[in-house]
Structure 1
Amino acid sequence: MTKVLKGRQLFSSEERDRVLYEFNRTDQAYNWLPYAKAFEQTVELFPKNIAVIDEENKVSYTDLNKYANRIAQCLIRYNVKEGDVVAVVMERSLHFIATVIAIWKAGCAYLPIEASTPAQRMINIVLDSKAGLIVSDSDLHGVESQESTPIVNLRFTHAVNALQQENDVNPSLCSDDMHQLAYIIYTSGSTGMPKGAMIEQKGMMNHFFYKINSFQMDTTFRMAQTAECSFDISVWQLFAPLLSGGATVIYTKDTVLNFKLLISKIVTDEITLAEFVPSYLTTIMSYLVRKKIGLPSLRYLFLTGETVHPQLALQWMQLYPSIKVINAYGPSEAADDVTLYEVPPSYNADFLPIGRPISNMKVYIVNEDMKLCNIGEKGEIVISGVGVGRGYINDPERTSHAFLEKDVISGSQDRMYKTGDLGCWLESGDIRFFGRMDHQIKVRGYRVEPAEIEVVLLKHTEIKEAVVLTVPRDSTNLLCAFYTAEHALEQTRLLEFLAQYLPEHMLPTFYLRISKIPLNGNGKVDRKQLLTMFPM
Structure 2
Amino acid sequence: MKNILEYLERTTDTCGEKIAVADQHEEISFHELSMYAKRIGSRISQLKYRNAPVAVLLDKTPRCAAAFLGVVYSGNFYVVIDSFMPADRINKIFKTLNPKALVTDYAHKELAENLSHPGEIIWLEDAVETPVDAEALSEIRKRSIDTDPLYALFTSGSTGMPKGTVISHRAVIAYSEWVESTFNIDENTVFGSQTPFYFSMSVTDFYSTIRTGARLQIIPKMLFSFPMQLIDYMNEYKVNTIYWVPSALGLVANWKALDYADLKYVNKILFAGEVMPVKHLNYWKSKLPDAFYANLFGPTETTDICTYYVVDRTFADDESLPIGRSCDNCDALVLTDDGREAAPGEEGELCVRGSFLAEGYYNNPEKTADVFVQNPLNSAYPERIYKTGDLVKVNERGEFIYISRKDFQIKHMGYRIELGEIEASAWSVEKIKNCACVYDDTVDKIIFIYEGKVKKNELMTAMWKKIPTYMQPNELIRVKQMPFNANGKIDRAHLKKHYQDYM
TM-score, length basis structure 1? 0.74
Please list, as runs of the form range in 1=range in 2, the aligned pairs for 1:515-530 lying within 5 A after superposition.
none
| CA positional deviation for 1:254 | 2.1
Q: Does 1:130 align with 2:107?
A: no
Q: Does 1:313 align with 2:281?
A: yes
Letter paired with 1:297: Y
| CA positional deviation for 1:218 | 1.2
Contact 1:69 1:167 in 2 (8 A): yes
- Provide the C-alpha distance between the structure 1 equivalents of 2:114 and 2:490, rounded to a whole number of angstroms: 23
Tell me what 2:156 maps to. 188
The superposition leaves residues 86-127 of structure 1 with CA deviations (integer Å, 9 ceiling, x where unpaired) of 111111111110011111122211111101111121111012
Q: Secondary structure at the match of 2:264?
A: coil
Change (3 A) 1:288 1:275: farther
Tell me what 1:462 maps to. none
Change (3 A) 1:56 1:378: same
The two structures, once aligned, show a CA RMSD in angstroms of 3.2
Contact 1:403 1:418 in 2 (8 A): yes
Letter paired with 1:54: D
Q: Secondary structure at the match of 1:141?
A: helix
Contact 1:407 1:415 in 2 (8 A): no
- Provide the C-alpha distance between the structure 2 equivalents of 1:45 and 1:470, rounded to a whole number of angstroms: 56
Q: Does 1:241 align with 2:209?
A: yes
- Provide the C-alpha distance between the structure 1 equivalents of 2:405 and 2:66, rounded to a whole number of angstroms: 37
Q: Which shifted more, 63-72 or 421-430? A: 421-430
Contact 1:43 1:62 in 2 (8 A): yes
Change (3 A) 1:90 1:534: closer
Find the partner of 2:325 among 356, 361, 366. Answer: 356
Tell me what 1:508 maps to. 494
Tell me what 1:484 maps to. none
| CA positional deviation for 1:509 | 5.9
Tell me what 1:520 maps to. none
- Provide the C-alpha distance between the structure 2 equivalents of 1:395 and 1:468, rounded to a whole number of angstroms: 35
Q: Does 1:297 align with 2:265?
A: yes
Contact 1:305 1:329 in 2 (8 A): yes
Change (3 A) 1:467 1:142: farther
| CA positional deviation for 1:374 | 0.3
Q: Does 1:164 align with 2:129?
A: yes
Please list, as runs of the form range in 1=range in 2, the aligned pairs for 1:217-296 lying within 5 A after superposition.
217-288=185-256, 291-296=259-264
Contact 2:344 2:396 in 1 (8 A): yes
| CA positional deviation for 1:419 | 0.9
| CA positional deviation for 1:357 | 1.0
Q: Secondary structure at the match of 2:407?
A: coil
Contact 1:223 1:247 in 2 (8 A): yes
- Aligned pairs, how many? 437
Please list, as runs of the form range in 1=range in 2, the aligned pairs for 1:81-160 lying within 5 A after superposition.
81-137=49-105, 138-142=107-111, 144-154=113-123, 159-160=125-126
Tell me what 1:43 maps to. 12
Once the two structures are aligned, what percentage of the paired residues are identical?
23
Q: Does 1:373 align with 2:350?
A: no
The superposition leaves residues 182-220 of structure 1 with CA deviations (integer Å, 9 ceiling, x where unpaired) of 111111111111111111111112111111111111111
Tell me what 1:436 maps to. 405
* Unmatched runs of 5 consecutive residues or more in structure 2: 410-418, 421-437, 453-482
The superposition leaves residues 444-477 of structure 1 with CA deviations (integer Å, 9 ceiling, x where unpaired) of xxxxxx99xx9xxxxxxxxxx99999853227xx
- Provide the C-alpha distance between the structure 1 equivalents of 2:207 and 2:165, rounded to a whole number of angstroms: 19
- Provide the C-alpha distance between the structure 1 equivalents of 2:44 and 2:319, rounded to a whole number of angstroms: 52
Higher relative contact order (CA 8 A, sep 6+): 1
- Provide the C-alpha distance between the structure 2 equivalents of 1:300 and 1:470, rounded to a whole number of angstroms: 36
- Provide the C-alpha distance between the structure 2 equivalents of 1:507 and 1:378, rounded to a whole number of angstroms: 25
Letter paired with 1:283: L
- Provide the C-alpha distance between the structure 2 equivalents of 1:439 and 1:65, rounded to a whole number of angstroms: 44
- Provide the C-alpha distance between the structure 2 equivalents of 1:71 and 1:468, rounded to a whole number of angstroms: 54
The superposition leaves residues 326-359 of structure 1 with CA deviations (integer Å, 9 ceiling, x where unpaired) of 1110001111111111112434582210011112
Contact 2:361 2:368 in 1 (8 A): yes
Contact 1:389 1:415 in 2 (8 A): no
- Provide the C-alpha distance between the structure 2 equivalents of 1:377 and 1:357, rounded to a whole number of angstroms: 18
Find the partner of 1:76 among 45, 48, 51. Answer: 45
Tell me what 1:459 maps to. none
Change (3 A) 1:375 1:406: closer
The superposition leaves residues 469-512 of structure 1 with CA deviations (integer Å, 9 ceiling, x where unpaired) of 9853227xxxxxxxxxxxxxxxxxxx9xxx9xxx9968836865
Q: Secondary structure at the match of 1:508?
A: helix
Please list, as runs of the form range in 1=range in 2, the aligned pairs for 1:45-64 lying within 5 A after superposition.
45-64=14-33
| CA positional deviation for 1:429 | 2.2
* Unmatched runs of 5 consecutive residues or more in structure 1: 1-31, 443-449, 455-464, 476-494, 513-530
Letter paired with 1:427: E
- Provide the C-alpha distance between the structure 2 equivalents of 1:139 and 1:396, rounded to a whole number of angstroms: 33
Q: Secondary structure at the match of 1:111?
A: strand
| CA positional deviation for 1:405 | 4.8
Find the partner of 2:176 among 184, 188, 208. Answer: 208
Change (3 A) 1:112 1:506: farther
Change (3 A) 1:154 1:508: same
TM-score, length basis structure 2? 0.79
Letter paired with 1:473: Y
- Provide the C-alpha distance between the structure 2 equivalents of 1:412 and 1:350, rounded to a whole number of angstroms: 42
- Provide the C-alpha distance between the structure 1 equivalents of 2:236 and 2:111, rounded to a whole number of angstroms: 40
Q: Does 1:398 align with 2:384?
A: no
- Provide the C-alpha distance between the structure 2 equivalents of 1:168 and 1:58, rounded to a whole number of angstroms: 25
Letter paired with 2:33: L
Letter paired with 2:32: D
Contact 2:195 2:245 in 1 (8 A): no
Tell me what 1:33 maps to. 2
| CA positional deviation for 1:153 | 4.5
| CA positional deviation for 1:146 | 5.0
| CA positional deviation for 1:139 | 2.4
- Provide the C-alpha distance between the structure 1 equivalents of 2:21 and 2:189, rounded to a whole number of angstroms: 12
Change (3 A) 1:375 1:507: closer
Contact 1:378 1:423 in 2 (8 A): yes
Letter paired with 1:309: P
- Provide the C-alpha distance between the structure 1 equivalents of 2:364 and 2:443, rounded to a whole number of angstroms: 26
Letter paired with 1:372: E
Q: Secondary structure at the match of 1:139?
A: helix
Tell me what 1:327 maps to. 295
Letter paired with 1:183: Y
Letter paired with 1:435: S
